[in-house]
Amino acid sequence: MNAVMEAIVGRRSIRQFEDKEIDNETIENIIKAARFAPSADNRQPWRFIVIKNREVIRRLAEEVKKTMHKILKRRLTLKFSIKELKDWQQRQFIKAVLSQKKDFIFFDAPLLIFIISEKGIFNRESCACAAQNMMLYAHSCGLGSCWIGFAHSLNYNKAFRKEFGLEKEQFIASAIIFGYPKNIPKAPLRKIEADVMKWIE
Ligand SMILES: Cc1cc2nc3c(=O)[nH]c(=O)nc-3n(C[C@H](O)[C@H](O)[C@H](O)COP(=O)(O)O)c2cc1C
């Protein structure tokens, strides 16, 4: 395996972190990795909010929980917008996560980065490329990371949008936590090649 493939295969979503800060130079390099991602029309439709303040991260975890509770309660949202939430098991899983005392949203990570984008064709895809670059670069520095989909619920949280200055057209395209891993889990199983690959020769 070459170095890139090793990073791709070796990266894991990390949810337990050492109590250790990440220095600013490393953070700047994580952002650099994002900035050099491919983007549709080279539009680079991203802005980055870098949060190192643990108090703020903790507060945001509570805001995510509050917003998720509201989303779960709103029948219309359930019915029309987020089809996965129609699934009973999925809803039970989310409720279990939300009811935990420990931070099962941002896992007490020392760093949270939001990628902010705005409505536009392929903007989400471009930001996902940036997100993956960040996670792979972080892995290459011995850091762990995890994309936190739950945090996208903050897009519906008016107080958050105001505090972080999100304009009407802007939204969280990705939320990723980073930190030095306490332990590295086994890779969750991947679908086998034959199930996901079709050759046309
Ligand atoms: C778009 C997206 C959203 C995710 N949201 C969450 C999340 O909210 N909480 C979490 O613990 N993991 C989240 N993950 C991590 C996945 O659970 C993880 O990538 C998957 O189980 C595969 O494990 P691996 O990353 O270690 O290969 C998310 C991953 C992606 C790509």
DSSP states of the chain? --HHHHHHHH--B---B-S----HHHHHHHHHHHHTS--GGG----EEEEE--HHHHHHHHHHHHHHHHHHHH-HHIIIII-GGGGSHHHHHHHHHHHT-SS-TTTTT-SEEEEEEEES-TTHHHHHHHHHHHHHHHHHHTT-EEEE-GGGGGGGG-HHHHHHTT--TTEEEEEEEEEE-BS--PPPPPPPPHHHH-----
Q: What are phi and psi of 100, to 5 degrees?
A: -70, 140
Determine, yes or no, domain membership for 125.
yes
Q: Is 191 in the pocket of ligand 1 (CB under 6 A)?
A: no
What is the model's pLDDT at position 113? 99
Residue nearest to atom 31 of ligand 1 (CA): 147
Q: Which one, of 81, 174, 169, lies nearest residue 125 by Cα?
A: 174
* Count: domains in the chain: 1
Ligand 1, from 67, 148, 176: best to mutate by most atoms within 8 Å of Cβ? 148
Instruction: Indicate if ligand 1 lies below 6 Å from the C-beta of 148.
Output: yes
State the pLDDT at residue 81: 67
Residue 158, domain member (yes or no): yes
Residue 59: what pLDDT?
97
Residue 14 covered by a domain = no
- With respect to residue 118, please indicate whether it lies within any of the assigned structural domains: yes
Residue 107 Cβ < 6 Å to ligand 1: no
Longest dimension (CA), the chain: 56
Tell me whether residue 139 is in a domain. Answer: yes
| Closest residue to atom 18 of ligand 1, CA basis | 13
Residue 72: the pLDDT is 82
Give the model's pLDDT for residue 26.
98
Nearest to 26 by CA among 149, 142, 150, 172: 142
**Domain range for 166:** 30-66+106-183
- 69-117, pLDDT tens digit by residue? 888 887 656 555 677 777 888 888 888 888 888 899 999 999 999 999 9
The predicted structure's pLDDT at residue 127: 98
| Domain assignment present for 95 | no
Q: Domain for residue 198, yes or no?
A: no
Q: What separation in Å is there between the alpha carbon of 201 and the centre of ligand 1?
A: 34
pLDDT value of position 34: 99
Residue with the smallest CA separation from ligand 1 atom 14 is 147
Q: Is residue 59 part of a domain?
A: yes
CA-closest candidate to residue 69, choices 29, 32, 48, 96 = 96
CA distance 36 to 45: 12
Q: For the chain, how big is the Rg over CA atoms in Å?
A: 18
Question: What's the pTM?
Answer: 0.95
Domain with residue 52: its CATH number is: 3.40.109.10
Instruction: Name residue, tokens 């306490």.
Output: 182
Ranges of the chain whose pLDDT falls below 50: none
Q: Give nearest CA residue, ligand 1 atom 17.
A: 13
What confidence score (pLDDT) does residue 73 get?
81
Task: State whether the beta carbon of 13 lies less than 6 angstroms from ligand 1.
Answer: yes
